[in-house]
Structure 1
Amino acid sequence: MAESLRDRVREKLLRQIAEDGGAPTEGAEDDDPRLVALDDDLAALDEALDGDPVIERLAAKYWVP
């Protein structure tokens, strides 16, 4: 498999954000709790180091194989 788990989770989060009608807010205030949660998870993923358990947790949360 060419893509890492981190890449697949990132792709899934970005797809979820787009499907929910938003775009990554990059810190902007948003009143949609779903988009806020997705943005927070995307930020956590971006800050995680390779091998960080947060990557596995997010993969499980968003059903990323």
Structure 2
Amino acid sequence: MAEKASAGRLIKVYRAERQRRVHPLPRRGQIKSKIAHIVAHSVASALLRAFSQLPVLDQK
């Protein structure tokens, strides 16, 4: 009986694994949104690096 249960578990895990591998293609809006997010993050990171290298003016 335990073998039957473990075989059933293996089949469920295998099916879940197969379904997880198949990703639906993203919609056009999702692609644009992802690109915009990456660009915004890159620009913010570059600005942060640039401003962190500036000397602080009001240091006493």
For normalisation by structure 1, the TM-score amounts to: 0.29
Higher RCO, Cα 8 Å, sep 6+: 1
Higher normalized helix content (fraction of residues)? 2
